[in-house]
Structure 1
Amino acid sequence: MKEVIQIKAAIYRSYGPPEVLEITDVELPSIKDDDRVLIRVHNASVNAYDNLFRKGYLPTRLENGLTKPKTQILGLDVAGTVEEVGKNVHRFKVGDHVFGSCLGSYAEFVCPPQSVLSFMPKNATFEEAAAIPCAAQTALQALRNVAQIKQGQRVLIYGASGGVGHFAVQLARHFGAEVTAVCSTSNLQWVKDLGAHYVIDYTKENFADNGKKYDIILDAVGKRTFFSCLRSLTKTGVYITEHPIHPKYHPFQLMISPLIGRKKAKLHLTKPNDRDLDFLRVLMEEEKVKPVIEKCYPLGQIIQAHRHIEGGRTKGKIILEIKQCFT
């Protein structure tokens, strides 16, 4: 009989507040598919989606179980060391440092397909690499693929100091846009340092009242609606949200937007892939994009990490330290 190897992971057996999370033993994942890579996790990150799944908002329950979660290990981002590869994996080898998207990364080991991984940027720590995948890919795909951003366009990023937002500021600037960042008072200067041409303090000013027009408005935190941004969009402007399961999101705006001239409301769901990770890796190595990390928690403090994210005032990314907790 094959020995069952146990590893540590943070799991949730029921929906609820951060206190439903606990550290326990789970079975070591195995390479069941030939294109998978077994990774020893050094760091993961905490995303807003983790909170929504943990709380059990209805759309997430439809995917993960109505009464209790079917998939009990959260986590979307991983940075770590390759321990084993499937026979069809030719890009990576044992010992490589990789980063990417991976469900269940709140654990010592994960086993994602190679198609959602890339080599870590040469100038990045494991903590920095873990901050990139979900947030940066979301920002990249929203701006480049959905909005089809062009040089010289005016772009407004709402929630510019958050995980997705602070990457969106840097990427919009990289693509040659004029960037306006909306965030709170304490974050204005560092967001401007990331590349924003203009900053707006949402606690003192509603950008929709200043009379300025934008080609792209990216709501990176799910706090605005298409209707509240209408008068701030150019005639062919695009509003994008990436929070379809956020309690303040209104699906009706997607249906009604075609009736309101040429202005568009778009929903973006991130599609993890190695090509975009490679693109972001190069930008990181060229120092054109960098993650901002507010705090790194050991996995044993997963409850505190989720409380932090739940507060809605995160500066950049919250990271989990995993490898050092159990070695």
Structure 2
Amino acid sequence: MKAVVQDRYGSVDTLELREVEQPVPGAGEVLVRVHAASVNAYDWHYLHGDPKIARLFFGARSPKVRIRGRDFAGRVEAVGAEVKGLHPGDEVYGEADGTFAEFVCAKDTETALKPAGLTFEQAAAMPLAANTALIGLRDVAGLRSGQSVLVNGASGGVGTFAVQLAKAYGAEVTGVCGARNVELVGSLGADDVVDYSREDFARAGRRYDVVLDLVGNRSLADLRRATTPSGTVVLSGGGVFEGGSLLGPVWLTARARLLSPFVRQRVLSLPAKASKENLAVLRELTDAGKIAPAVERTYPLSEAAEAIRHLEVEHARAKIVVTVRETGGP
């Protein structure tokens, strides 16, 4: 099968489209013929091995997982032992390492039937980003109807879902983004949109019950200043910023844990974990018309490196999708 392979840390130039052996599903796994995958900040971090502390998990000298990609949507080709509820031919979506490939083996616990009304390309945009937003708002922040939410990074992959999910849970939502994305964030349902080039949300005088930081470029003091005295700050910054290339957002998260016991505000990190149950919730919300993926652009598998470069260099808005197998609809 064809796959996008990385043998060493570095730029997108280290990626190669090669023929590799097709995987075989083990117990609790399904073999999926991938129709589409999407690009996440996760791919960029894995590509560079950055921040360097992450190499404890990614691989000290070179990537442990050689095929890039994390999200997928496609059809089940085969199921391993102990798999329940999924069968060959089912249209599915989920998370697994190595999805920039024609086939991938995914855990049954991280795979679910895809939303019926979405194309494979649309469905592939959802798993990691939408799941991260769901966990951050529902589980970490404990968002309730009537609360106010600020999403810093509202035009990104996670941010576009966070705006919609917060509205679906009955919150009043303010999205922070750049000038070119104001219209997009407004179209997703945000009640107010802050253009960070013209206004600093941390010094505007307004406070929110929940501040979801998806950028990692603001200090804890700034984020707390925008939060009500008994509110919640949720950290999921994807950049290196304050912690540098060694620690990256890990430094901000560590400081948050040290600070949290001493202030009324809750300052929490966002430990996103793939889940079949969450994918089912997201499917129900999608089928009900409450959330929908926003896709900026698609690339063929042969141009997966350019798709990652787009995310890294051009600060892509919404989601970037890699089409692995051409399809004609939902």
Q: Where on the TM-score scale, by shorter chain, does this alignment land: which range?
A: over 0.9
AA at the equivalent of 2:6:
Y
Q: In structure 2, what is the Cα distance between the partners aligned to 1:223 and 1:268?
A: 16
> Contact 1:244 / 1:251 at 8 angstroms: preserved in 2?
no
Give the CA deviation at 1:272.
0.6
- What is the identity, as a one-letter code, of the residue corresponding to 1:229? L
Cα distance in 2 for partners of 1:84, 1:149 equals 39
Q: Is 1:232 matched up with 2:226?
A: yes
Structure 1: how far apart are the matches of 2:264 and 2:23?
49
2:175 alignment partner in structure 1: 181
- For 2:112, which of 108, 113, 118 is the aligned residue? 118
Residues 179-236 of structure 1: per-residue CA shift (max 9 Å, x gap)? 0000111111221111100110001111011100111111122222322212111111
| 1:290 alignment counterpart | 292
1:139–1:167 Cα contact (<8 Å) kept: yes
> Counterparts of 2:5 and 2:271 in 1: how far apart (Å)?
24
Aligned length: 318
Query: 15, 29, 36: which is aligned to 2:29?
Result: 36
What residue is the counterpart of 1:155 in the other structure? 149
Structure 2 gap ranges (5+):
243-248
For structure 1, which runs of at least 5 residues remain unmatched after alignment? 1-6
Partner Cα distance (2:320, 2:101) in 1: 16
How far is the alpha carbon of 1:173 from its aligned partner? 0.5
Give distance in 2, aligned partners of 1:261 and 1:64.
34
Aligned mates of 1:27, 1:175 — CA distance in 2: 44
Residue 149 of structure 2 contacts residue 173 of structure 2 at CA under 8 Å; is this kept in 1? yes
2:200 aligned with 1:206, yes or no? yes
After TM superposition, give the deviation of residue 260 of structure 1 in Å.
Answer: 4.4
The amino acid that maps onto 1:218 is L
| 2:170 is equivalent to residue 168 of structure 1 | no
Q: TM-score scaled by structure 2? A: 0.93
Q: 1:322 aligns with which of 317, 321, 324?
A: 324
- Distance in 1, matches of 2:165 and 2:257, equals 29
Contact 1:41 1:79 in 2 (8 A): yes
**Contact persistence 2:233–2:268 (CA under 8 A):** yes
Residue correspondence of structure 1 range 220-299 to structure 2 within 5 A: 220-243=214-237, 246-248=240-242, 249=249, 250-258=252-260, 260-299=262-301
Letter in 1 for 2:277: R
Deviation larger for 207-216 or 239-248: 239-248
Larger mean Cα displacement after TM superposition, 314-323 or 163-172 = 314-323
TM-score normalised per structure 1: 0.94
Partner of 1:3: none
Q: Distance in 1 between matches of 2:219 and 2:43?
A: 22
Which one-letter code corresponds to 1:295 in the other structure? R
How far has the Cα of 1:32 moved from its partner? 2.2
* Matched-pair identity in %: 40
- CA distance 1:209–1:175, shift in 2 (3 Å): same
1:194 matched residue in structure 2? 188
CA distance in 2, matches of 1:131, 1:180: 23
Q: Deviations over 1:5-27 (max 9, x none)?
A: xx110011110111111111111
Match of 2:245 in 1: none
Residues 46-61 of structure 1: pairs in structure 2 closer than 5 A:
46-57=39-50, 58-61=52-55
Tell me if the contact between 2:9 and 2:49 (Cα under 8 Å) persists in the aligned partners. Answer: yes
Moved more, 261-270 or 92-101: 261-270
Divergent runs of 4+, >4 A: none
For residue 90 of structure 1, report the CA deviation from its aligned partner: 2.7
Aligned-residue CA RMSD (Å): 1.5
CA distance in 1, matches of 2:322, 2:143: 33
Three-state SS of the structure 1 residue aligned to 2:231 is: strand
With over 3 angstroms needed to count, the CA separation of the structure-2 counterparts of 1:281 and 1:22, relative to structure 1, is same
> How many angstroms does 1:288 deviate by?
0.6
2:20 is paired with a residue whose SS is: strand
Distance 1:176 1:190, change over 3 A: same
Mean alpha-carbon deviation: is it higher for 264-273 or for 284-293? Answer: 264-273
Offset at residue 259 of structure 1 (A): 5.2
Measured against aligned partners, the alpha-carbon deviations of 1:230-249 in whole angstroms (never above 9, x if no partner) come to 21111111111123774442
What is the deviation of 1:60?
2.2
